[in-house]
Structure 1
Amino acid sequence: MSIVTVTAFRYKPLARFRAFANMGRVLMQPIREEGLRFSKLMGSGINFGLVPDLSTYVFLGVWETDAAANAFIHTSTYQQLSQGTYQTGTLHLEPQRAHGLWDGRNPFDDSWDRVDRPAPKMSENSPVAVLTRATIRTQALPDFWRHVPQARQRLTDHADDLLFGIGVGEVPVVQQCTISVWRSPAAVDRYAYRQSGHKEVVRLTRERKWYSEELFARFSVLRAEGLLFAPVQALISSI
């Protein structure tokens, strides 16, 4: 089973141009580290919206082993990405299930879909991370973004269950990704299937064909590092 890391970098004002330039460098020369199977460096939007947050970027890595994931912080790549930051934090995740594609592939270990290997079980009190990612069809962009404030309000309505949430993406406007951490599997279900009206949004994506490519993944949270993810680690420590 692969290990997935989500590292958030928050930059001081004078370092934000360098951080933005990192996006271009990585697009031209993708990050290569031992044990790294898939990676993305993504910019963020303020409050999940269209306005860019130039202070915050996220690196997502899919690693062959926990040792490879842990070693990343000691690499020159990490040192370059973290230069000029005032806050960093990393989530270490284990994939539970995933469906869909990202750049034409499922980057997460899909072995749980095999009959001979059941999906890992999550404790009913353990935090859960959810990732959604999509490429939006050009003709669907106005309709999609018109519904974003409504979806954002639904997240706000579940603030007690939401430990962390951010909207990021590789390409502004067109490619979008959300990463969220919830108190428990039940909290995710309440948001996705019950009070929030999330099912209505899912219905619209199908009916109006917003996406040319999409992926959904759910993870157990193994541990969290850094003040940014302190609420997540506090919950894990209390279990």
Structure 2
Amino acid sequence: MASFHLIRYAGLDAMRHMAFDRPVLRGTGGLRFWRLLGTGKGRSMSLGADLRRWAMFAVWDGEPALERFLERSPVAARWREDSAEAWHVRLAPLCSRGGWGGADPLAAAAAAPRAAPSGPVAVLTRASIRPRRLVRFYRSVPDVDRLLRRQDGCLASVGAGEWPLARQATFSLWEGAPAVERFAYRTSAHREVIGRVRREGWYSEELFARFVPFGSQGTWDGHDPLRPVRA
């Protein structure tokens, strides 16, 4: 299983926490894969960064490993004590393709075929952008961002990155699989960008994954974006 955590700190010392958290995470039992991520402002994957808001994506041996981390890790304790806002969600992988750091961290978890979910879907995309394609990539972002903000069925989204400019990711929540399909394949701006990505070879590595989100806790911009879907 996987998890996603979005933390907004009260002050600007979050970068120090990020540096100190890395050795702790390396020694965390049951944690197969993790990435600490800076975030853009609002929903955007633009050049602007929100220095108070940070994220972590993680893959675990199982839910007990995540529970131990949340209960005992000093990283999770700092999230509770030092954050102005925090949101956590557990993720059951549905499908995954591509790589992150040379391998697909979800390959084993997403190997078994699953029925299409009838409820909310979470989507993670990430890419390593070739340096010579950075300008084209960031010129394409505003049109897709505007489309995403207007898109029916998108509950929440955030742009993130593990390395300034060139290693970017998005995490988004949707009312269901049909809403994801409409955005991915039936909107001209998004189709055009995907076509250019393939034709012009923008990425040296990319990953696309879908999940069933469950067990969410806390708030994201003042509310839990999954709660209205469950009500």
Same fold (TM over 0.5): yes
Give the deviation of 1:200 after TM superposition. Answer: 1.5
Q: 5 Å matches for 1:1-239?
A: 3-12=1-10, 15-17=11-13, 19-26=14-21, 30-46=25-41, 47-74=44-71, 75-110=73-108, 112-113=110-111, 117=112, 119-124=113-118, 126-158=119-151, 160-228=152-220, 230-236=224-230, 238=231
**Aligned partners of 2:102 and 2:55: how far apart in 1?**
21
In the alignment, the residues of structure 2 paired with residue 83 and residue 16 of structure 1 have an alpha-carbon distance, to the nearest angstrom, of 15
Distance 1:33 1:27, change over 3 A: closer
Cα distance in 1 for residues equivalent to 2:76 and 2:24: 15
Deviation at 1:23, TM superposition (A): 2.7
Alpha-carbon separation, structure 2, partners of 1:98 and 1:5: 15
AA in 1 matched with 2:98: G
Summarize the Cα distance change of 1:213–1:123 in structure 2 as closer, same or farther, 3 Å threshold: closer
TM-score under structure 2 normalisation?
Answer: 0.91
Cα separation, 1, equivalents of 2:201 and 2:24: 32
Look up the equivalent residue of 1:54 and give its one-letter code. Answer: L
SS in 2 for 1:16: coil
**Tell me, what secondary structure is at the counterpart of 2:69?**
helix
Deviation, 1:227, is 2.1
Q: Percent identity?
A: 32
**CA distance in structure 2 between the aligned counterparts of 1:30 and 1:123, rounded to whole angstroms:** 31
Contact preservation (8 Å) 2:93, 2:109: no
Structure 1 distance, partners of 2:6, 2:74, is 17
Structure 1's 227 and 23: CA in aligned 2 closer, same or farther, altered over 3 A?
Answer: closer
Alignment partners' CA distance in 1, 2:36 and 2:61: 18
Q: Is the CA contact 2:33–2:58 (under 8 Å) kept in the aligned structure 1? A: yes
1:141-175 per-residue CA deviation (whole Å, 9 max, x = no partner) reads 111111110110110220x3111100011111111
Q: In 1, are the aligned partners of 2:39 and 2:159 still within 8 Å (CA)?
A: yes
> Is there any run of 5+ residues in structure 2 with no aligned partner, and where?
none
Q: Quick one: structure 1 residues 29 and 140, their matched pair in 2 at CA, closer, same or farther if it must change by over 3 Å?
A: farther
Which whole-Å CA distance do the structure 1 matches of 2:200 and 2:117 have between them?
Answer: 36
Indicate the larger mover: 148-157 or 79-88: 79-88
Q: CA RMSD for the aligned pairs?
A: 1.8
Cα pair distance change 1:223/1:101, threshold 3 Å: same
For structure 1, the residue ranges without an aligned partner over 5 or more in a row are none
